[in-house]
Amino acid sequence: MVTFSASSAIIPNPEQGFFQYTETHYRSDNSGYTPLDASELQTARTGTTPINSLNFVGATVVFRYFFLEKYKNADTIEPAYLALLATDLAAVRTAGCKVIIRFAYDDQHQETGPWTSDATPERVVSHIQQLAPTLNAYADIVEAIQAGFVGTWGEWFYTSNFTTGLNPNTLTANNIANRNAVINALVTNLDPRIFVLIRYPGSRQAYLGTTNPNPGGDAIRLGYHNDAFLADNGNWGTYETFSNLTITQNRTYVASTLNVPIGGEGANYTSPMGDWANASTELATYHFNFLNRNYFPQMLAAWGQSNIDTASKQLGYRFRLISATIPGTVVAGDSMDIQIVLINDGWASSFRNRPVKIVFDNGTAVSKSTLPIDMRTWVPGVQQTIDTTITAPATASSYSVYLEVVDPTISLQSTPAYSVQFANTGVWDAVHGRNSLNTTVTVNPSANTPYAISNIVKVSIGGVPTVVKIQE
């Protein structure tokens, strides 16, 4: 049995952590569009970024705000704009990142209505249908789409197209149906790999019901973005708006939502609500995967660098190897029993079921076995034991053994940036994107394995020529 030492390092793993905030516009005169720079994103992913006197290590997630001012009153999204969108998504892929996207028509806030912050419900649905083919072409790197589109900033509140009258809190049955149509357009038109994030639990309940469904189907795709995290007890309406449930009931509802991305940003700072003691409890309770590192600066400053580092380690999953038991010698092609013990030190499970593989590498040949595991079950704080049987490599040799956790999309599996690094010292193979189990297995030939000419020598015994088979 091999045991492993824990690492205290910040490990920027895919689809989690403090994200890199970006935004761009497209006004009626085609101005305002600032394209993403792949090299800048890559630097943010691999390096340390100082923001408001704090240092943030590694941003594997890019948040991208697309403001569609030009199309608020236009039915057709032009090919030129779709080309700009595609170029941005290609830059994200080149940088080895993933992206969370929100579309909105306006960022000009006004407290009182009527509001002109968005397009009509019919136009919004049409725009989603037009955007979907481009988004789907990059579904491998689009982590999630925030429902967006509705209201100022796409936050589903200040809107006259999806609210009747001048009270944004009061919704008619028709308002609810129009909002559900936006969610449905996203769910039905986007690639199933793309999650859809909802601003308010009440909006998710209006679409799915107040009883949290078991993971599966559309439910598994609907997560949350809380844009007023820790602003007050209700998170500035997050846990009460558009819902028949109490704040406490909605908090329970969100906490019980599993296997979907959950995250957001602060919007206010008061003590003790926004202090680290409460923040760390809530980040764990609601199993946050991501957080805006640019906002809310006063709250993040109150946490301090040490706690920012802790959050960087624990947002999302953080898998750590404890031990591995693997036979030192095995016959080629035979079954071999392996046992790997690990734990998730993060605040959340993985919301993707990434393939988990045992890799045998002798320096010239690689053999892989995919384990029958749903890694979404690796919940925080619970020790997990992988106890299974795999087939040994077919070729006799001495192999180093690795644990590899890759992206579900085949096109990304050869890119180390999209593989999962375990929180241990002396295990990460950055070149190949895999974790060493610090084990060597000798695979001997089976009785039915033909010997290579190089492994056969002739000797004489008592003057009689004899063929001796040399087994390596």
**What pLDDT shows up at residue 214?**
66
Q: Does residue 386 fall inside a structural domain?
A: yes
Residue 324 shares a structural domain with residue 269:
no
Choosing from 314, 333, 364, the residue where a domain stops is 314
Q: What's the CATH code of the domain at 297?
A: 3.20.20
Could you tell me if 132 and 160 lie in one domain? yes
> What pLDDT is recorded for position 398?
98
Task: For residue 454, tell me if it sits in a domain.
Answer: no
**Judgement on whether residues 140 and 91 belong to the same structural domain of the protein:** yes
- 354 and 421 both lie in a single domain: yes
Residue 390 and residue 339 in contact, taking contact as beta carbons nearer than 8 Å: no
Do 327 and 292 have their domain in common? Answer: no
Q: Give the alpha-carbon dihedral of 299, 319, 223, 305, to 10 degrees.
A: 10
User: Is the same domain home to 350 and 265?
Assistant: no
Residue 463 forms part of a structural domain:
no
Q: What is the 3-state secondary structure (H, E, C) of 124-143?
A: HHHHHHHHHHHHHHCCCCEE
- Identify the band that residue 218 occupies on the pLDDT scale cut at 50, 70 and 90: low
Position 288 pLDDT exceeds 70: yes
pLDDT interval class at 459 (50, 70, 90): very low
Quick one: pLDDT band at residue 467, thresholds 50, 70, 90? very low
User: Residue 354's domain spans which residues?
Assistant: 319-443
pLDDT band at 258 (very low <50, low <70, confident <90, very high): confident
Note whether 307 and 335 are same-domain residues: no
Q: For residue 452, tell me if it sits in a domain.
A: no
Q: How many CB atoms lie within 10 A of CB 343?
A: 19
Same domain as 297, residue 328: no
Among 297, 314, 331, the domain-final residue is 314
238 and 371 fall within a common domain: no
Judge whether 50 lies within some domain.
Answer: yes
Round to the nearest angstrom and report the end-to-end CA distance of the chain.
24
Evaluate if residue 181 carries a pLDDT over 90. yes
> Which CATH number covers residue 426?
2.60.40.10
Question: Is residue 455 assigned to a domain?
Answer: no
Q: Are residues 274 and 147 in the same domain?
A: yes
Gap between the Cα atoms of 63 and 19, Å rounded: 6
Do 308 and 329 lie in one domain? The reply is: no
Into how many domains does the chain fold? 2
For residue 3, being part of any structural domain is answered with: no
In a domain, 469, yes or no: no
pLDDT digits 0-9 by tens, 333-372: 999 999 999 999 999 999 999 999 999 999 999 999 999 9
For β-strands 356-361 and 366-370, DSSP reports them as antiparallel
Whether residue 333 sits in one domain with residue 286: no
Residue 127, pLDDT above cutoff 90: yes
- Of the candidates 314, 337, 368, which is a domain's last residue? 314
Alpha helices in 213-296 (DSSP H): 247-255, 276-285
